[in-house]
Amino acid sequence: MTIRVTVFGENVHEQTNRVVAEIYPQGMHGCIAATLNANGMDASTVTLQQPDHGLTAEKLAATDVLIWWGHAAHGAVQDAVVDRVCDAVWGGMGMIFLHSAHFSKPFKRLMGSPCNLTWREAGERERLWVTSRNHPIASDLPEHFELEHEEMYGEPFGVPEPLETVFISWFQGGEVFRSGLTYKRGAGNVFYFRPGHETYPTYHDANVQRVICNAVRWAHNPAARIADPNDAPNTPVQQALEPIVEHGPRLHHDGDKGLR
Amino acid sequence: MTIRVTVFGENVHEQTNRVVAEIYPQGMHGCIAATLNANGMDASTVTLQQPDHGLTAEKLAATDVLIWWGHAAHGAVQDAVVDRVCDAVWGGMGMIFLHSAHFSKPFKRLMGSPCNLTWREAGERERLWVTSRNHPIASDLPEHFELEHEEMYGEPFGVPEPLETVFISWFQGGEVFRSGLTYKRGAGNVFYFRPGHETYPTYHDANVQRVICNAVRWAHNPAARIADPNDAPNTPVQQALEPIVEHGPRLHHDGDKGLR
Amino acid sequence: MTIRVTVFGENVHEQTNRVVAEIYPQGMHGCIAATLNANGMDASTVTLQQPDHGLTAEKLAATDVLIWWGHAAHGAVQDAVVDRVCDAVWGGMGMIFLHSAHFSKPFKRLMGSPCNLTWREAGERERLWVTSRNHPIASDLPEHFELEHEEMYGEPFGVPEPLETVFISWFQGGEVFRSGLTYKRGAGNVFYFRPGHETYPTYHDANVQRVICNAVRWAHNPAARIADPNDAPNTPVQQALEPIVEHGPRLHHDGDKGLR
Amino acid sequence: MTIRVTVFGENVHEQTNRVVAEIYPQGMHGCIAATLNANGMDASTVTLQQPDHGLTAEKLAATDVLIWWGHAAHGAVQDAVVDRVCDAVWGGMGMIFLHSAHFSKPFKRLMGSPCNLTWREAGERERLWVTSRNHPIASDLPEHFELEHEEMYGEPFGVPEPLETVFISWFQGGEVFRSGLTYKRGAGNVFYFRPGHETYPTYHDANVQRVICNAVRWAHNPAARIADPNDAPNTPVQQALEPIVEHGPRLHHDGDKGLR
């Protein structure tokens, strides 16, 4: 079964900054999708500028794993689309957040925490260490690898404790950062991966590409999507699994939907 | 140091339902606050109907632990107040969600997940088992205790894996539920506790009262509140802890605030 | 790639108790292995009575996932075999512990905790609830299923917080139990699954069989086994990734193996 | 209530290495205990060379929190004492492991994992970053602090995912390490803290001393110690909380202790 991946690219700096445009002539999203397609996945791209940012209900229903990169225009993402994306994750869609997507609306919504960090844009060396040996997201990677020029992100990173810490980064200027973290939200697998500042050729790096391919396979949940992941069904007394006798005052009538 | 607790009560069914009004003549929030005050804490109440639901910036700054009970009017809670409450939690305020607050806006926001469950209002027996021996929230409790008449909540409960599972409930009709769960969001300790349907006298139960008192002490973080828990400071090249030489193109200028 | 599974059966009550022998004429291990073989896996069995309990270094090297059932003779398992099994898990072998294996030597060793519980042998009803929707171990299962006659295990269960709670059991006599728990130890995936008292036909139940098949697939780590999962390599000053100048004094000489 | 702390010191290099003896004339354990006593705790020391390593049942019963430092003689620690220490932890005693105690018998037993790492003894700079803001163990600490000369420990660190990651270290030579990790085992709180190579004056550092004091207060569980943390009580049919009818057959007779 081919995994269907949608890559959301904000597509702002590619259009407005000459350096970024030269590194990523097809956009960062285009570069990432090309990598996935070259590795046996079925990847397409959507951008902020499209109606619904390209993330219609139909598109999400046909997406096994959604990848998100954004930086300059987090505020321009429509809240209705954020709701739709979170529902899809809760129903079982995998989701991967890259780099500055730590401050994107869907990441903040799924984490329930501030998602902040410290940062410095100096093109310094980053070295990523695998902290979870033989984790599927670290498959075929060396125990550490380097990105010679990257933006620094430093701890404390304002996220909840993850299920697993897969990578931790060392920075030349003296900071550290948990740069690969797994979460589950509803039925959906979520992965955050740090590298990818737009003024460096990070998504052309073979190790970074391998991480993204591995993460897509890890995040993919082959089970059927849950139709309404927010449903809170009433199970009436008459259908209780063990016989019970109803006692005392009720707020709700049979068939009520419950309060929200 | 006396712990300052604020109890938010939705205060709807107390005003509109005779059964609820008779069980809780001072409101559910009033009953809970009285318990806390009788146990050495400094508790006050606020309600949905007050301006800002009583949860002004000043009130939150003077609150060590916030308790939340709501059911009929989750949608009436203002988003601006939800933001303020989450910021306070991220800055270090403790927070306890009771029963139907599983569908409250601040709980859903802090969990990042659907928070749904199955339910039945039949006044059946609930038995809570301690699953984490000697946990501070289970202090001075027996290994299990019963509530003779409660609403049923059943798994699957749509929340992230907790830090710790403190209680699991058995229901007479055949269901189970993780009824005591701890989380950390930012610097704030968060606890969800299941019992407390408004048509039963649950908050008059001695064991339930003990859990709430224990949870307040557990959730209280004596450290000074973080002033801006969303701050993402830039650390300039010149102030790097290790000497580095700036490399290559920059998006940001010195003193920039970063993009959101 | 066919998954190679080894099923360890204690094989005591099958030989000494007529009831058990009639339910499991090929042994409990034989029943479990037959299920796996019928579902596309390559399963074989070993028993306590064999030399090295059948778990030689060669056998473990050829095992992707090891399943363990024991009850009457935990103390008869050789410590050297326990060490070998734990090393295999740490190197990446998957491992599934069934029912009374909660008190087996390898489970206690891998958990680092007492692994105790309460129990009652009365042939009462157990109902297992899925608590993690769409988890691969719950694939193709209903939201709950029943075993009409089982031994009761009750909380508190003396294990560390799991990575994920997949099932919780309801018992007719009033108890609850976390009956499906995932862990990672070294590079190895570990799953505990509660049902399977030897005097009931539990391993003939279709839902139980599905859980075991799912769990084998989940536990299987296709990465190459780590050769020495206990290795603690020295990285000499001369080979440091960043240039550093040694600052004395030293306990160790170049090439030392480190102290244990 | 004054917290009673016992500091176990291996006391080998203090007796055999002149450098260590000069830095710690009262032993490393003596230095740590003096710090605790100066901060309002009631600390005493025991050493490997004493009968039972000083860790008799009486001593453990009078210990709220046990601190462990060892390096050269892990193998000389008696297994019976390790069992006794683990039982005390499971019953509620707090325990803190320092530096090279990562390879001590009780740490390996409590973790259930290889506990290995990479290392280099070059006296390089270590910088510890707080990753969990306002965590009690990080109380009154800056967001990062440095140790100018320390042994390097590098990832991957062979331990289970912790409850919380409190510190991560940056090393001058290019490695990172999760240097402050919390766990719960049975009713006992466990903390691992990385710094403390014996040839450097680490335990004279004010920030390190503050971490150790904070960790003792965090690890202390004021609840009464559980008498037998391994007990697995039978709850007979006649005493079931809900009425059930026994359904045969049975392996056990009333009053049996269960099998181990």
Q: Does A175 touch chain D (CB under 8 A)?
A: yes
Contact state of A122 with B154 under an 8 Å Cβ cutoff: no
Q: Does residue B255 carry a pLDDT above 80?
A: no
Residue-wise pLDDT tens digits, D127-180: 999 999 999 999 999 999 999 999 999 999 999 999 999 999 999 999 999 999
pLDDT band at C252; cut points 50, 70, 90: confident
| Shortest distance, CA C39 to any CA of chain D (angstroms) | 31
Which pLDDT score is estimated for D216? 98
Q: Does C149 touch chain B (CB under 8 A)?
A: no
Q: How many domains does chain A have?
A: 1
In a domain, C251, yes or no: no
Q: Does A178 touch chain D (CB under 8 A)?
A: yes
Q: Does residue A259 carry a pLDDT above 90?
A: no
Residues in chain B with CB shorter than 8 Å from the CB of D133 are: 186-187, 226
Q: Does B147 touch chain C (CB under 8 A)?
A: no
- Of all residues in chain C, the one with the smallest CA distance to D155 is C232
Contact A143, A129 (CB under 8 A): yes
* Residue % of chain D over a pLDDT of 90: 94
Which pLDDT score is estimated for D229? 97
Q: What is the CATH number of the domain that holds C37?
A: 3.40.50.880
- In this structure, are strands C65-69 and C4-9 parallel, antiparallel, or unpaired? parallel
CA atoms within 13 A on the CB side of C94: 25
Q: Does C244 touch chain D (CB under 8 A)?
A: yes
* Residue % of chain A over a pLDDT of 90: 94
**What is the rounded average pLDDT of the residues D17-32?**
96
| Shortest distance, CA B120 to any CA of chain A (angstroms) | 6
Which pLDDT score is estimated for A260? 79
In a domain, B230, yes or no: no
**Best D71, D172, D259 residue to mutate vs chain C (most C CBs within 10 Å):** D259
Residue-wise pLDDT tens digits, A136-194: 999 999 999 999 999 999 999 999 999 999 999 999 999 999 999 999 999 999 999 99
Residues in chain B with CB shorter than 8 Å from the CB of A172 are: 242, 244
Task: Determine the residue type at D205.
Answer: D
Residues in chain B with CB shorter than 8 Å from the CB of A152 are: 235
pLDDT band at C175; cut points 50, 70, 90: very high
| Shortest distance, CA C134 to any CA of chain B (angstroms) | 11
Which pLDDT score is estimated for A258? 79
* Residue % of chain A over a pLDDT of 70: 100
Q: Does B162 touch chain A (CB under 8 A)?
A: no
Q: Does C144 touch chain A (CB under 8 A)?
A: yes
CA atoms of A260 and B15, how far apart (whole Å): 18
Please, which chains are in contact with A (at least 3 CB pairs closer than 8 A)? B, C, D
Q: What's D234's DSSP letter?
A: B
Q: Residue A249 forms beta bridges with which residues?
A: none
- Of all residues in chain D, the one with the smallest CA distance to C259 is D72
Which helix (H) or strand (E) is B120 found in, with range? Answer: strand B118-130
Contact state of D133 with B187 under an 8 Å Cβ cutoff: yes
pLDDT band at C250; cut points 50, 70, 90: confident
Contact state of B240 with A173 under an 8 Å Cβ cutoff: yes
Q: Does C152 touch chain D (CB under 8 A)?
A: yes
Which pLDDT score is estimated for A252? 80
Residues in chain D with CB shorter than 8 Å from the CB of C237 are: 120, 122, 173
Q: Could you give the ipTM of this predicted complex?
A: 0.96
Contact state of A120 with B235 under an 8 Å Cβ cutoff: yes
Most confident of A15-19, A101-105, C237-241, C254-258: A101-105
* Residue % of chain B over a pLDDT of 70: 100
* Residue % of chain C over a pLDDT of 70: 100
Closest CA to A47 of A18, A72, A22, A17: A72
Contact state of B120 with A230 under an 8 Å Cβ cutoff: no
Closest CA to C64 of C8, C125, C3, C10: C3
Which of A172, A226, A241 has its CB closest to that of C133? Answer: A226
Residues in chain D with CB shorter than 8 Å from the CB of B163 are: 163-164
Which pLDDT score is estimated for D74? 97
Contact state of A176 with D129 under an 8 Å Cβ cutoff: yes
User: What token pair was written down for A4?
Assistant: 């269907």
- Using alpha carbons only, how large is chain D's radius of gyration in Å? 21
DSSP codes of every residue in C125-166: EEEEEE-STT-GGGTT--SEEEEEEEEEEESPP-SPPPSEEE
Closest CA to C222 of A135, A216, A210: A135
Which pLDDT score is estimated for C258? 80
Q: Does B124 touch chain A (CB under 8 A)?
A: yes
Residues in chain D with CB shorter than 8 Å from the CB of B226 are: 133-134
Residue-wise pLDDT tens digits, C207-236: 999 999 999 999 999 999 999 999 999 999
Contact B229, A114 (CB under 8 A): yes
User: Residue ranges of the alpha helices (H) in chain C?
Assistant: 13-16, 18-23, 27-38, 57-61, 79-91, 105-111, 206-219
Q: Does residue C168 carry a pLDDT above 80?
A: yes
| Shortest distance, CA B228 to any CA of chain D (angstroms) | 12
pLDDT band at C251; cut points 50, 70, 90: confident
- Of all residues in chain C, the one with the smallest CA distance to A188 is C134
Which pLDDT score is estimated for D251? 85
Please, which chains are in contact with B (at least 3 CB pairs closer than 8 A)? A, C, D
| Shortest distance, CA A188 to any CA of chain C (angstroms) | 9
Residues in chain D with CB shorter than 8 Å from the CB of A129 are: 154-156, 175-176
CA atoms of D185 and D112, how far apart (whole Å): 11
Q: Does A208 touch chain B (CB under 8 A)?
A: no
**What is the rounded average pLDDT of the residues A216-232?**
96
pLDDT band at B251; cut points 50, 70, 90: confident
Task: Determine the residue type at A70.
Answer: G
In a domain, C198, yes or no: yes
Please, which chains are in contact with C (at least 3 CB pairs closer than 8 A)? A, B, D
Q: What is the strand order of the sheet B118-130 is part of?
A: B42-47, B4-9, B65-69, B94-98, B188-193, B176-185, B164-171, B118-130, B144-154
Alpha-carbon distances of B57 from B7, B88, B102, B187, rounded to whole Å: 15, 9, 24, 18
Q: Is the pTM of this model over 0.90?
A: yes
Which pLDDT score is estimated for A1? 79
Residues in chain A with CB shorter than 8 Å from the CB of C166 are: none
Domain range enclosing A22: 4-115+181-219
Q: Does B185 touch chain D (CB under 8 A)?
A: no
Which of B164, B186, B242 has its CB closest to that of D133? Answer: B186
Which of B163, B199, B244 has its CB closest to that of A122? Answer: B244
Q: Does A156 touch chain B (CB under 8 A)?
A: no
Which of C114, C236, C242 has its CB closest to that of D90? Answer: C114
User: Which has more pLDDT, B257 or B139?
Assistant: B139
Q: Phi and psi of A184, rounded to 5°?
A: -125, 135
In a domain, D150, yes or no: no
Contacts of A140 (CB under 8 A, 6+ apart): A210, A214
Which of C127, C163, C186 has its CB closest to that of A133? Answer: C186
Q: Does residue A58 carry a pLDDT above 80?
A: yes
Mean of the per-residue pLDDT values of chain A: 96
Mean of the per-residue pLDDT values of chain B: 96
Which of B74, B154, B234 has its CB closest to that of A120? Answer: B234
pLDDT band at A76; cut points 50, 70, 90: very high
Contact state of B176 with C165 under an 8 Å Cβ cutoff: no
Which helix (H) or strand (E) is B209 found in, with range? Answer: helix B206-219
pLDDT band at D256; cut points 50, 70, 90: confident
Residue-wise pLDDT tens digits, C49-99: 999 999 999 999 999 999 999 999 999 999 999 999 999 999 999 999 999
Contact state of C156 with B129 under an 8 Å Cβ cutoff: yes
Which pLDDT score is estimated for C1? 79
| Shortest distance, CA C145 to any CA of chain B (angstroms) | 11
pLDDT band at A102; cut points 50, 70, 90: very high
